[in-house]
């Protein structure tokens, strides 16, 4: 029994498992997930800690390989790839935004944004131009030569977003991107992400805050390594029917906020 | 393109190292001292051996020196009235005629006699020899001229002093043409040559030599030499005290020497001669130098090892400290090899800069040794090349492990690292 793919499929998981051994106990961080996710979606992965949502993000982000099952990203069977090829996929197709920003402290804003381009071997002139465009886009055009420790948390996260976009990724992965930010800054960051999504970017975000998740049209709830329920467009999960959008997560408030950043 | 990229990587490496200036400098010190001790020790060793080799070369590396000695079993031939031993004129002629590669045979009669110039006297070693001597034992002429064939043919009373002997007799350039009295005979000083340097290696010439034609020496002194020792007369009959032989190339030295040995064995009942081959001494000295170079090099090598371990230590600390950065770079898409090259470039930059400073210091130390301790030193090109190669090698070898460790970190773990 195979899952019917969604239209315009970008991500395909087939019975993906990820087991860890902690002490003498096997932990099933992912316990057989089969799903299909369309390009252009903005998905929130939710769940309590230990539900497997971080493992899910690591697998989707090609940082971790599933113990079994297959993962196809943009028609590449990435679960089959070597470490080096996975690096190449991350370099060409993925962008990461982390909770604690993860900028390289000794590099300037410009150099941080240029980092993926540096590894891609883009020449310096094109790379510099791209960094400037991206910095403008996240509203940090004036701060290109600052170092991360001279910036506020919100500014650092915007640099991180600019860096994640430098390679024009097929998929943007965000791990609690607003976890370390105050409410006002959180809103700024979420507006940027919503805006990016409205321009066609596919975003998968892990969060445990319903307030944040409500910016996302598509939701996926995890528990004990399996998808418990899901809702929204562009997602199909094996053995589950989509639920109606929870009242609490209705992206109505976002619709007006979006596009204004 | 690849060079452009490498240049960019090196620039980034330097920038990272400059973030911790003191730490980078201290790390570098190990290599600085290691490299400078390699250069300095080799320079001191090379200088010392160069001096020894120079002295041996003064013997003439294409020369074979045969000297008359009293045969061991004949030492106390007291019952004989005259003790006859040593090399003969026939030996010299036979050597000259028998060996194709011998270019020159110089017979020498050598006698200790007192010389007198005006009111000064000095103990001289009177050397009856041929003009060939000055070819085999080349010493610069200070004044006048050397002996020529005509002197030998005409049994002239010409005398060539050494600079040292001349000084003892208070002879100067103006002395040329004056007469020196030796054992009742009068000799005309025709020239002064530089003396052998006083040193550990025995050269054929000595400092108080006085050279006269061999024919004159034979006529005036004969072959019988009577010396008084502890109350009794010691009569010795020696035709030639030494024979110097020159061959036409390094490769002929050993063969000719053994040929001469075989020949002399046939004509001498006892071994009353000794054959010395300067080339063999030279080779021995070179072996000694090589041994010294190995010893000194090993000591320097150990200090380099310590320097390298210092680098490795700091780089391991740096990898731990920058675990998160490594995780970030890996998440962004850096391949393992790119992480390795990043860290390797940093260590190589460190060790190469340390190497450059070390080489500079390695020039300064031998200079100071020569200047203040008066020891000869010699910085060779190969020791610089060695030091440069070693400093790059240290960077690569001791950087490889920390770099590999950085590259093999699990990106997820690395990102979580606080």
pLDDT digits (tens, 9 = 90+) for B207-261: 888 999 999 998 888 888 777 766 677 778 888 999 999 998 878 888 899 999 9
Calculate mean pLDDT across residues A2-9: 90
Task: Give SS3 for A190.
Answer: helix
Q: Give ipTM to 2 decimals.
A: 0.90
Strand partners, A223: A226
Whether residue B142 has pLDDT greater than 90: no
CB A203 within 8 A of CB A43: yes
Report the C-alpha gap between A179 and A204 in whole angstroms: 15
CB B300 within 8 A of CB B365: no
Give percent of chain B with pLDDT exceeding 90: 33
pLDDT digits (tens, 9 = 90+) for B315-336: 999 999 999 999 999 999 999 9
Calculate mean pLDDT across residues A57-68: 94
pLDDT digits (tens, 9 = 90+) for A82-140: 999 999 999 999 999 999 999 999 899 999 999 999 999 998 899 999 999 999 999 99
B132-137 long-range contacts, Cβ below 8 Å, gap at least 24?
Answer: B132/B104, B132/B105, B132/B106, B132/B244, B133/B106, B133/B108, B133/B211, B133/B244, B134/B193, B135/B104, B135/B246, B136/B60, B136/B63, B136/B104, B136/B106, B136/B204, B136/B244, B136/B246, B137/B60, B137/B203, B137/B204, B137/B205, B137/B244
Calculate mean pLDDT across residues B395-410: 93
**C-alpha separations of A200 from A42, A45, A169, A197, A255 in Å:** 10, 19, 11, 5, 15
pLDDT digits (tens, 9 = 90+) for B169-187: 887 878 888 889 998 889 9
Note whether A102 contacts B19, CB cutoff 8 Å.
no
Note whether B16 contacts A96, CB cutoff 8 Å.
no
Residue A245: predicted pLDDT? 62
Calculate mean pLDDT across residues B35-53: 84
Residue B333 backbone zone (phi > 0: left; psi -120 to 50: alpha; other: beta): left
Residue A140: predicted pLDDT? 92
Residue B75: predicted pLDDT? 54
Q: How confident is the model at residue B78 (pLDDT cuts 50, 70, 90)?
A: low
Listed in sequence order, the residues at least 6 apart from A53 whose beta carbon sits closer than 8 Å to its beta carbon are A45, A46, A47, A206, A222
Q: Between these two residues, B77 and B46, which has the higher pLDDT value?
A: B46
Nearest to A199 by CA among A78, A64, A39, A45: A39
Return the residue in B5, B330, B333 with the most chain A beta carbons within 10 A, the one to mutate for interface testing: B333
Residue A22: predicted pLDDT? 83
pLDDT digits (tens, 9 = 90+) for A82-91: 999 999 999 9
Calculate mean pLDDT across residues B298-315: 87
Calculate mean pLDDT across residues B22-36: 90
Calculate mean pLDDT across residues B283-292: 83
Dihedral in degrees, nearest 10, Cα atoms B163, B169, B171, B175: -120
Note whether A63 contacts B333, CB cutoff 8 Å.
no
Average pLDDT along chain B: 86
Give percent of chain A with pLDDT exceeding 90: 79
pTM over 0.80: no
Whether residue B198 has pLDDT greater than 90: no
pLDDT digits (tens, 9 = 90+) for B342-385: 999 999 999 999 999 999 999 999 999 888 888 888 888 988 89
Whether residue B77 has pLDDT greater than 60: no
Helix (H) / strand (E) element for B11: namely helix B2-19
Whether residue A241 has pLDDT greater than 90: no
Note whether B327 contacts A103, CB cutoff 8 Å.
no
Residue A112: predicted pLDDT? 95
Q: How confident is the model at residue B69 (pLDDT cuts 50, 70, 90)?
A: confident
Residue B118 backbone zone (phi > 0: left; psi -120 to 50: alpha; other: beta): left
Residue A107 has what DSSP assignment? S
Residue B16: predicted pLDDT? 85
Which residue matches tokens 């969604």? A6
Note whether B328 contacts A102, CB cutoff 8 Å.
yes
CB B59 within 8 A of CB B281: yes
Note whether B415 contacts A167, CB cutoff 8 Å.
no
Note whether B415 contacts A61, CB cutoff 8 Å.
no
CB A87 within 8 A of CB B333: yes
B323-332 and B278-321 helices cross at what angle (nearest 10)? 80
Nearest to B319 by CA among B399, B405, B412: B405
Q: Which of B8, B19, B332 sits opposite A119 (nearest CB)?
A: B332
Return the residue in A87, A97, A110, A170 with the most chain B beta carbons within 10 A, the one to mutate for interface testing: A87
Contacts of A119 in chain B (CB under 8 A): 329, 332-335, 338
Q: Which of B15, B325, B411 sits opposite A63 (nearest CB)?
A: B411
pLDDT digits (tens, 9 = 90+) for A189-217: 999 999 999 999 999 999 989 999 999 99
Cβ–Cβ contact A115 with B under 8 A: yes
Note whether B325 contacts A104, CB cutoff 8 Å.
yes
Residue A170: predicted pLDDT? 94
Helices (H), B182-277: 214-221, 250-267
**C-alpha separations of B178 from B113, B142, B144, B283 in Å:** 19, 16, 12, 44
How many angstroms separate the CA of residue B350 from the nearest CA in chain A?
18
Nearest to A220 by CA among A10, A34, A63, A16: A34
Report the C-alpha gap between A55 and A66 in whole angstroms: 9
Cβ–Cβ contact A201 with B under 8 A: no
Instruction: State which residue of chain B sits closest to A122, comparing Cα positions.
Output: B5
Residue A199: predicted pLDDT? 93
Report the C-alpha gap between A121 and B1 in whole angstroms: 10
Calculate mean pLDDT across residues A28-37: 94
Q: How confident is the model at residue B277 (pLDDT cuts 50, 70, 90)?
A: confident
Report the C-alpha gap between B91 and B95 in whole angstroms: 6
């Amino acid at each position: 029994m195979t899952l019917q793919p969604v239209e315009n499929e970008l991500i395909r998981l087939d019975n993906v498992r990820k087991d860890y051994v902690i002490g003498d106990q096997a932990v099933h961080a992912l316990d057989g997930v089969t799903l299909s996710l369309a390009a252009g979606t903005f998905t929130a992965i939710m769940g309590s800690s230990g539900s497997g949502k971080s493992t899910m993000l690591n697998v989707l982000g090609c940082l971790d390989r599933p113990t079994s099952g297959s993962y196809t990203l943009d028609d590449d069977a990435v679960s089959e790839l070597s470490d080096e090829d996975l690096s190449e996929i991350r370099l060409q197709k993925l962008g990461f935004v982390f909770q604690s920003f993860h900028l390289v402290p000794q590099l300037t804003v410009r150099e941080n944004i240029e980092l993926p381009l540096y590894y891609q071997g883009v020449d310096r002139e094109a790379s510099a131009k791209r960094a400037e465009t991206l910095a403008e886009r996240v509203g940090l055009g004036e701060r290109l030569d600052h170092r991360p420790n001279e910036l506020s948390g919100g500014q650092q996260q915007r640099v991180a977003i600019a860096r994640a976009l430098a390679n024009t990724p097929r998929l943007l992965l965000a791990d609690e991107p607003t976890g370390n930010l105050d409410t006002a800054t959180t809103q700024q960051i979420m507006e940027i992400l919503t805006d990016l999504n409205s321009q066609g970017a596919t975003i998968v975000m892990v969060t445990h805050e319903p307030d944040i998740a409500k910016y996302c049209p598509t939701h996926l709830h995890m528990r004990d390594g399996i998808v418990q329920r899901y809702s929204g467009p562009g997602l199909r999960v094996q053995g589950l029917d989509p639920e109606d959008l929870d009242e609490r997560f209705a992206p109505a408030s976002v619709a007006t906020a979006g596009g204004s950043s | 393109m690849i060079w452009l990229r490498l240049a960019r990587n090196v620039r980034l490496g330097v920038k990272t190292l400059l973030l911790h200036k003191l730490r980078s400098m201290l790390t570098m010190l190990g290599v600085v001292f290691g490299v400078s001790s390699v250069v300095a020790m080799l320079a001191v060793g090379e200088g010392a051996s160069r001096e020894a080799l120079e002295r041996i070369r003064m013997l003439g590396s294409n020369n074979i020196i045969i000297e008359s000695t009293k045969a061991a079993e004949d030492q106390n031939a007291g019952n004989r009235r005259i003790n006859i031993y040593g090399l003969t004129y026939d030996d010299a002629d036979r050597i000259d005629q028998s060996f194709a590669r011998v270019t020159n045979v110089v017979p020498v009669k050598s006698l200790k006699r007192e010389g007198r110039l005006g009111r000064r006297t000095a103990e001289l070693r009177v050397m009856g020899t041929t003009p060939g001597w000055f070819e085999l034992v080349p010493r610069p002429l200070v004044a006048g001229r050397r002996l020529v064939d005509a002197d030998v043919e005409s049994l002239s009373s010409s005398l060539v002093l050494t600079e040292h002997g001349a000084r003892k007799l208070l002879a100067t350039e103006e002395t040329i043409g004056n007469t020196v009295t030796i054992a009742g005979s009068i000799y005309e000083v025709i020239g002064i040559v530089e003396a052998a340097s006083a040193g550990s290696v025995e050269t054929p010439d000595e400092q108080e030599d006085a050279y006269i034609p061999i024919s004159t020496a034979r006529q005036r002194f004969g072959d019988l030499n009577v010396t008084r020792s502890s109350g009794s007369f010691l009569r010795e009959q020696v035709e030639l005290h030494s024979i110097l032989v020159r061959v036409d190339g390094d490769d002929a030295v050993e063969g000719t020497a053994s040929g001469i040995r075989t020949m002399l064995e046939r004509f001498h009942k006892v071994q009353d001669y000794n054959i010395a081959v300067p080339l063999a001494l030279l080779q021995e000295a070179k072996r000694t130098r090589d041994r010294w170079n190995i010893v000194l090099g090993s000591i320097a090598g150990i200090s380099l090892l310590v320097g390298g371990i210092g680098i490795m230590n700091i780089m391991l600390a740096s990898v731990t400290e920058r675990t998160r950065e490594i995780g970030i770079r890996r998440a962004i898409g850096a391949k393992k090899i790119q992480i390795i090259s990043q860290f390797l470039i940093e260590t190589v930059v460190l060790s190469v800069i340390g190497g450059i400073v070390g080489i500079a210091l390695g020039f300064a130390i031998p200079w100071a040794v020569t200047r203040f301790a008066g020891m000869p030193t010699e910085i060779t090109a190969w020791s610089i090349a060695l030091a440069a190669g070693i400093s790059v090698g240290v960077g690569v070898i001791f950087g490889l492990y920390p770099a590999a460790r950085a590259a093999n970190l699990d990106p997820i773990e690395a990102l979580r690292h606080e």
